[in-house]
Homo-oligomer: A and B are copies of this chain.
Amino acid sequence: MKSAISSLISSRNFNLHRSSLSFSIFRRPSLLLPSQFPVISTDDKATGANFTSLRRKCRFHSTKSSPIMASSFNPEQARSPPAVPLPIPPVTKFKIGLCQLTVTPDKQRNIEHARKAIEEAVGKGAQLVVLPEIWNGPYSNDSFPVYAEDIEAGGDASPSTAMLSEVSRRLKVTIVGGSIAERSGDKLYNACCIFGTDGKLKAKHRKIHLFDIDIPGKITFIESKTLTAGQTPTVVDTEVGRIGIGICYDIRFQELAMIYAARGAHLICYPGAFNMTTGPLHWELLQRARAADNQLYVATCSPARDVGAGYVAWGHSTLVGPFGEVLATTEHDEAIIIAEIDYSLIELRRTNLPLLKQKRGDLYQLVDVERLKSE
C-alpha cells in the first residue's frame, strides 16, 4: 500500500504541480491523500458532513450500469492533465470573513485598519479572512510605485505583509491578503499573499491578466503601464481547504477558474476592485458563473466605495456557493461579511449535476500548460 501511495504521489499529484511556487500545496502532501481513500475525518464527523457517503453516491453514478456514465466520451480527457480528485479538506464547515475596507492615501492607517478588521472578523468566528485588492493605498498607476513593497525581503521592506504574518500567527487564522503592489527588482506586480495559521507566507499570486480596458467615456485603465503580469496560476492548500487565487481582472478569464477546479480547488478567492461601469455589468455575473460552471465556492473582496477617489470601486464583496447561489453579499459601504462555507455541498452539487462525468473529452480539452509541462 505504501508503495502504491508513493507511486501515486510521484507519478501524479506531485509531478503535476512541481513547477508551482515553492510554497505551494506540496508542502503539505498529506492533504492530497485522503481523497483517495474512504476516510471520514474528525471534522467531517463533527460537522455531520459525510464526504464518504457522498462519494458513494458518486460511485453509483460512475458504475457501468448507471445511465449517467458516458465513458465513451472520455470525460477525463476534457482536462489535460486529467482533473485531480477533489481532496478532502481539513475542515468541512467554517466561517469566512470578507473585509470590504475603506482605503485612504495613509498607508500606516490602512495597515492598522486592516489589522483591526481581521481581528474583528476572527472575533466573529472567521477561520479564513479575505482582504480587498490594493488595500494599502490608492488604486492608480501613480500610486503603485509609491506604495509598493518588497514582499520577499519582508520585515521593514514590507510592513503590509508583516502585519498579515503577525496577525495570522497570533490569531491562528488563514489570510488571503487581498493584494498590494509588489516591488521585485525593477518590476512591479499586483500581488496577493496567502498566510497560514503559523504566520508563514504559503503562496503569492501575481495578477496574471492585467487590467487594460477602454470603454470610452466610462472607464479606461491601463494597468500594464506600470505593472508586470504574473507567470503562474496559484493554488494553495490551507487549513481551510484548497484555494485558487485570482485578482480582479483574472476573474474574466474562465480558463483560470477551470484550471483551478481541475487542480482540486474547493474555493477560488478573487480580491477585486471592479468599477462603477463593469461592477454593475459583470461583477456578480462572473462570480456566479465561475462558481456554477466549476461547482465550487467563489469569494470576492472589494475595497469600499470612495466617490472621491480617482478610481471608484463598486464594492459588493460576495460569497457564492457551488450552485452559483449568492450566499452573502453587501452594498458599497465598508463592511465585514461573515458567512459559512460548507464544502460538503460541493460534492452534493457534483452528484446532482455530474458535469465532470458528462464533459466531452472527445470534442474539447482544456490544457493546463504548467501542469502538462511538469509531467
Binding site for B on A (CB under 8 A): 61, 67-68, 70, 73, 78, 80, 208-210, 212-215, 222, 224-225, 229, 231-233, 252-256, 258-259, 281-282, 285-286, 288-289, 292-293, 323-325, 351-355, 358-360, 362-370
Contact = CB atoms under 8 A, between A and B. Distances in A.
A256 B363 CA distance: 9
Given A233-B363, A364-B368, 4 more contacts: A68-B214, A214-B352, A253-B355, A286-B289
A324 B253 contact: no
Contact of A281 (B233, B323, B366, B368): B323
Contacts of A354: 212-213
A291 to B, nearest CB: 10
Q: How many copies does the complex hold?
A: 2
A213 B352 contact: yes
A249 to B, nearest CB: 8
16 contacts: A68-B212, A68-B224, A70-B210, A208-B360, A210-B358, A213-B353, A213-B354, A215-B352, A233-B363, A253-B359, A255-B364, A256-B364, A259-B363, A285-B289, A363-B370, A365-B367
A78 B255 contact: yes
A366 B366 contact: yes
B292 A282 contact: yes
A265 to B, nearest CB: 15
A303 to B, nearest CB: 21
B67 A212 contact: yes
A225 B67 CA distance: 7
A121 to B, nearest CB: 29
A224 B70 contact: yes
A45 to B, nearest CB: 23
Contacts of A285: 285, 288-289, 292, 324
A225 B69 CA distance: 11
B369 A281 contact: no
